[in-house]
């Protein structure tokens, strides 16, 4: 199963193991993974995550948000990455925001998880 994965997921969500590399700690890492991914890769991630999203959040909600077990935390981080991947898939048909050229944002502070 997922014994070699850097980001272990809850057993009930083993179907998402192939996407465990999207469990990234910071917004910057998630955004850069989006920019570095192909549309096919993001579509596959989106297609795997969307049907499990509500169950995933329900599972994470069963724990104290400030004391999440590692597996639940990784799962929640996957939902954050889905936020990023959803724009290319649902709106843009490309990884970057169209016409955003050289625009970039520096994250100064973000809520910890």
Partner 1 sequence: MAHFPKPAEGSWTEHYPGLGTGPVSYKDSYDPDYWQQEIDAIFKKEWLCVGRVERLGRAGSYFTREFPWAKRSILVVKDREGTVRAFYNVCRHRGNKLVWDDFPNEETSGVCRQLTCKYHGWRYDLDGSLVFIQQESEFFDVDKDSLGLVPVACDVWEGFIFVNLDPEPQQTLAEALAPLADGLAGYPFGEMTQTYEVRSEIDSNWKLFIDAFVEFYHAPVLHQRQATAEESQKLASIGFEGLHYELFSPHSMVSSWGGMSPPKDPSMVKPIENLLRSGLFGPWDKPAAVNDNQDLPPLLNPSKHRAWGIDSFVLWPNFMILFWETGWYLTYTYWPLGPSKHLFETTLNFVPPENASQRASQEFAFSTFKEYAFQDANTLEATQTMIESEVVDTFMLNDQEILCRHHHAAVREQVKAGGRPASYPWMPGSENGGGG
Q: How far apart are CA 106 and CA 108, in angstroms?
A: 6
Q: How far apart are CA 71 and CA 62, in angstroms?
A: 13
Residue closer to partner 1 (CB basis): 15 or 61? 61
Residue closer to partner 1 (CB basis): 15 or 91? 91
Residues lying near partner 1 in the complex (CB under 8 A): 27, 50, 53-54, 57-58, 60-61, 63, 65, 68, 72, 76, 79-80, 82-84, 86-87, 90-92, 97-111, 113
Q: How far apart are CA 14 and CA 1, in angstroms?
A: 8
Give min distance, CB of 3 to partner 1, in A: 25
């Amino acid at each position: 199963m997922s014994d070699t994965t850097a980001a272990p997921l809850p057993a009930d969500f083993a179907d998402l193991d192939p996407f465990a590399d999207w469990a990234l700690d910071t917004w910057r890492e998630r955004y850069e993974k989006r920019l570095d991914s192909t549309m096919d890769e993001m579509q596959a991630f989106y297609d795997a995550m969307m049907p499990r999203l509500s169950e995933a959040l329900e599972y994470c909600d069963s724990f104290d948000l400030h004391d999440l077990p590692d597996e639940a935390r990784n799962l929640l981080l996957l939902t954050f990455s889905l936020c990023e991947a959803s724009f290319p898939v649902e709106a843009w048909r490309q990884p970057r925001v169209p016409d955003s050229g050289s625009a970039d944002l520096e994250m100064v502070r973000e809520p910890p998880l």
